[in-house]
Amino acid sequence: MSNTKQIQSALISVYDKSNLEPVIEKLKLLDVKIFSTGGTKSFIEKLGVSVTAVEDVTQYPSILGGRVKTLHPKIFGGILARRENPSDLSEMKQYDIPKIDLVIVDLYPFESTVASGATDQEIIEKIDIGGISLIRAAAKNFEHTLIISSKNQYQKLIDLLEMHKGLSSLAERKQFAVEAFNVSSHYDTAIFKYFNKDFSVPAFKQSIQNGEELRYGENPHQKGFFYGDLNAVFNQLHGKQISYNNLLDIEAAVQLISDFDEVTFTILKHNNACGIASRPILVEAWNAALAGDPVSAFGGILITNKEIDKDSAIEINKIFFEVIIAPSYQEEALKILKEKKNRIILIQKQKEFPVVQFRSLLNGVLVQDRDVKIESAKDMTVVTKVEPLLKEIEDMIFANKVVKHSKSNTIVLVKNKQLCASGVGQTSRVDALKQAITKANSFKFDLNGAVMASDAFFPFADSVEIAYQAGIKSVIQPGGSVKDQESIDFCNNHNIGMVFTGTRHFKH
């Protein structure tokens, strides 16, 4: 069996005719016999190129409004025949089946039709049958047949036709087959997900076409990849390639800032906010966020929900950081921030993200809805004699947003819409609180009048006791402990206001 195969015949049937003309011209130069049908046949004929109708081969017309055109043994026999198999060759001769060396086909635009808001019937009509069958048949028989399953491969095909005069190697055909099965599997996954939204068949299927290899994973000895379209989310204006760890922090940053409407600046390290503040003026928000932990801010990820101006850029530029994200930048600000060549500067474009999260675990995948709940004053139930003041309620709303996006167990201390400190990722809530208080004291924060937020209930009264000793005046927590009353009693006896939200915000 020869490794190299000459393209002598081609079946072409595509929905999207763009960029097809150069391919047709190259096939014409090589005197390749072309089979086609419907609109593709008309397109080729208008180019002045000879084409044989599929109907002339099958002696059967296109039927059912075009639903059945190429589904015929004479077409699939020509694609699937094993050229070295005497029985296959004998049957091809017996039934007058033409050999097909090249298949160029695409698929009806199912995903874009769904995205357009089309009706169910319009969507169903965009489920390709013939095209997907042709792709699978040609890819299966890659030893003899070359499959082009996307217009994105046209240039590769043109190069092959020009440089090798229509000759293809086994490795080339197998590569195209791999890409074809990628196309077909992605297409089937999209169709399944569309239908399954109403039935919830317990199957996990995801398919993302775009992917890139990162420099490495979390550590240099680990490989890392990102599958998705970062260009749809960000414009990268400056800096080096975004790393695996950068992406983890960027995800945390984007989700956190999305909960804030006021002018807010946030600094993150290892997926947690080490500084965040809301202020009327951006540079003030930056200075207040940085004051929360100027040590951890080194090498951090910065994000804001307001355009970066010159005054802010001057202050921001005084520290080393990895990434900065904003909706826009003033020209003078951008010039300042670009002074460091490796600094990653991003404009965030996309604001809405999938509401379903998943992660690999053991021999399977965990799936859950994203935590999109944001508590407001109406979600708070005052459980103490002391009712928090309006200013304290505003701080509790702020703190509860931060605690929601921090690693559990976590405690967040806030005053005047500024993060004073947080204790994150601790094995006990008391340890998280002690960590936060120690950190706040080390940066000279006055916690008198500050508020405390907890991602989950207090199992005992010890946390509110420690908070009281530090000067905390208001507490927001989910509630739900069998010993809630102990915490309530302590707060009542020491003039502390406490509210329950009824919503836990664990994050692991």
Catalytic residues: 140, 270
Q: Where are the beta strands (DSSP E) in 195-341?
A: 211-213, 225-227, 234-238, 264-269, 272-278, 300-304, 321-326
DSSP string for residues in 397-412? HHHHHHHHTSPSS-EE
Query: How far apart are alpha carbons 145 and 254 in whole angstroms?
Result: 47
The pair of three-digit structure tokens given for residue 6, joined into one six-digit string: 């000459």
Strand 364-369 with 356-361, pairing:
antiparallel
Instruction: Answer yes or no: are the C-beta atoms of 410 and 424 closer than 8 Å.
Output: yes
SS (H, E, C) 30-59: CCCEEEECHHHHHHHHHCCCCCEEHHHHHC
| Alpha-carbon gap, residue 310 to 156, rounded angstroms | 47
DSSP code of residue 324 = E
> Cα–Cα distance between 113 and 120 in angstroms, integer?
10
- Inter-helix orientation angle 462-470/484-493, to 10°: 30
> By C-alpha distance, which of 408, 440, 453 is closest to 427?
408
Spatial contact of 264 and 285, defined as CB atoms under 8 Å apart: yes
